[in-house]
């Protein structure tokens, strides 16, 4: 990778050098404040901005989820403590390039429709020449189909024009591109930056640190959180983890149980719903034995209710469930028999941060036939972009409770916070 480092007065000066040396598609790898000048270690020198950039490559840089730097993230709340050195990983793209790529993609989508239109026109032409034996009803149907196809082409053409880069001040455009690069859906990123532009002066828009914190605060207002199990009002906290196979439900149950026992010193009981005789029940049994917590394995709702009643002296009851494909209607119906109630048991839907947006949406819609109280995102350590977390939170308006960042029990889980989520998207802490 072709890396270059620049020491400059501000971000605008850095951008000029980067575009000149590495081209408009360059990636800003990191930024930090440094001292230059007299004194030991430059302590009494002038503060400069050191920016490291790289020429763009085909693949996005990989990144592991990192624990947020609390002090750095707290600067969301204090404009006076923010400097231009908070900038990181910004994707630079000329305005016309994005519009061009979208236009090409849209043309590909339109090609099969245009071919079908051409075929319909030819058919109509042939039929009009033989109109003596033509059924009028059939002709009407074909004309209606032609009209619908034209309407679809009109929508696609309009969409192509609307998805060009918005006309924004440079700092807002940089953050718009960074959010999209991090996986935030284009329409959400556009809505955020345009709203920010309407609510700040031109002078404010010239200050990159101010703009970044402004956007961070907007994102924090969008996200809802539950503070883990601490947000639950009942004194006895009963939660069930639901979700598809392979997202890490059983491991997450173990992590939450450990958190409740070690951090909050609560008595914890475990329940495993095992209707398919899966290996998850054996796994959770082993864990329960290790932490000396009671466990019940149940096969129907009456057994589960009896188990819950038997644990009335326990402050937290964590329920593990079978993995259930969102497309297995029979299995989903069985799951509903257990958890289609509100208030007593709080249902947490577990999703993997590595899943595609479309898959997450489908899972949430299908599991939404049961009351879903919050979302847990797992496998953040295996993901390189976190915009999908925001896409999901915006689309479904469900609060987030936990983030799982690895396989270690109990270390690799954290209570979801607005600061941490925004830091994942914008890299405020710079760590």
Residue 183 region by backbone torsions, left for phi larger than 0, else alpha for psi between -120 and 50, else beta = left
pLDDT, position 342: 82
> Region 147-154: what's the mean pLDDT?
54
Would you say the pTM of this structure is higher than 0.75?
Answer: no
Q: Can you name the CATH fold of 228-415?
A: Rossmann fold (3.40.50)
pLDDT of residue 9: 79
Helix axes 170-181, 208-222, angle to 10 degrees: 50
Q: What is the pLDDT of residue 322?
A: 84
* N- to C-terminal Cα separation, the chain: 21
Spatial neighbors of 362 by CB under 8 A, at least 6 apart, are 326
H or E, element range at 317: strand 316-320
Q: What is the mean pLDDT of residues 356-379?
A: 93
What percent of the chain is predicted at pLDDT more than 90?
Answer: 43
The overall average pLDDT reported for the chain is 77
pLDDT at 391: 95
Whether the Cβ atoms of residue 360 and residue 212 lie closer than 8 Å to each other: no
pLDDT at 71 over 60: no
123-146 pLDDT, tens digit per residue, is 555 545 554 444 555 555 555 555
- 26 and 56 in contact (C-beta within 8 Å)? yes
Q: What is the mean pLDDT of residues 48-52?
A: 78
What are the tens digits of pLDDT across the range 306-361?
Answer: 999 999 999 999 999 988 888 878 888 888 889 988 888 999 999 999 999 999 99
Sign for the CA dihedral angle at 332, 337, 338, 343 comes to positive
Give the pLDDT confidence score for residue 194 in this predicted structure.
94
Residue pLDDT, tens place only, 264-305: 999 999 999 987 767 777 888 889 998 899 999 999 999 999
- Residue 430: the pLDDT is 66
- Coarse DSSP helix, strand, coil percentages of the chain, rounded to the nearest 5 percent: 50, 15, 30
pLDDT category of residue 27 using cuts at 50, 70 and 90: confident
* pLDDT greater than 70 at residue 42: no
Where residue 85 falls among pLDDT bands split at 50, 70, 90? very low
| Residue 399 DSSP code | P
Q: What is the pLDDT of residue 253?
A: 95
Q: Measure Cα distances from 183 to 176, 227, 337, 380, 425 in Å.
A: 11, 25, 36, 14, 9
């Amino acid at each position: 990778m072709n890396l270059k480092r620049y020491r400059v007065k501000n971000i605008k000066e850095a951008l000029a050098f980067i575009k000149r040396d590495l081209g408009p598609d360059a990636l800003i790898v990191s930024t930090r404040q440094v001292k230059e000048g007299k004194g030991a270690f430059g302590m009494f020198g002038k503060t400069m901005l050191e920016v490291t950039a790289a020429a763009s490559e085909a693949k996005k840089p990989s990144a592991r989820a990192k624990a947020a730097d609390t002090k750095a993230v707290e600067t969301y709340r204090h404009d006076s403590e923010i400097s231009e050195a908070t900038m990181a990983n910004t994707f630079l793209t000329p305005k016309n390039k994005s519009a061009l790529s979208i236009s090409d993609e849209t043309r590909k989508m339109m090609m099969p429709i245009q071919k079908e239109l051409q075929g319909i026109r030819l058919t109509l032409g042939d039929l009009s020449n033989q109109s003596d034996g033509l059924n009028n009803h059939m002709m009407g149907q074909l004309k209606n189909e032609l009209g619908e196809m034209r309407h679809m082409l009109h929508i696609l053409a309009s969409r192509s024009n609307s998805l060009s880069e918005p006309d924004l001040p440079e700092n807002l455009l940089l953050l718009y591109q960074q959010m999209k690069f991090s996986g935030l859906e284009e329409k959400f990123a556009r809505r955020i930056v345009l709203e920010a532009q309407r609510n700040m002066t031109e002078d404010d828009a010239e200050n990159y640190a101010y703009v970044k914190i402004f956007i961070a605060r907007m994102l924090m207002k969008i996200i809802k959180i539950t503070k883990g199990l601490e947000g639950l009002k009942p004194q006895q906290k009963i939660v069930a983890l639901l979700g598809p196979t392979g997202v890490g439900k059983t491991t997450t149950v173990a992590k939450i149980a450990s958190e409740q026992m070690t951090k909050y010193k609560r008595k914890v009981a475990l329940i495993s719903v095992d209707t398919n005789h899966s290996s998850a029940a054996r796994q959770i049994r082993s864990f329960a034995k290790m932490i000396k917590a009671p466990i019940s394995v149940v096969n129907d709702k009456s057994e589960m209710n009896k188990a819950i009643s038997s644990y009335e002296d326990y402050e937290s009851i964590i329920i593990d469930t079978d993995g259930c494909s969102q497309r297995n209607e029979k299995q989903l119906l069985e799951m509903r028999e257990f958890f289609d109630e509100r208030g007593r048991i709080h249902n947490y839907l577990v999703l993997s941060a590595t899943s595609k947006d479309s898959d997450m949406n489908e899972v949430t819609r299908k599991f939404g036939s049961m009351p879903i109280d919050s979302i847990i995102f797992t496998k953040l350590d295996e993901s390189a972009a976190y915009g999908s977390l925001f896409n999901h939170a915006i689309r479904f308006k469900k609060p987030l409770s936990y983030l799982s960042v690895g396989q270690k029990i109990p270390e690799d889980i954290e209570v979801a916070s607005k600061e941490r989520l925004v830091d994942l998207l914008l890299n405020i802490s710079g760590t």
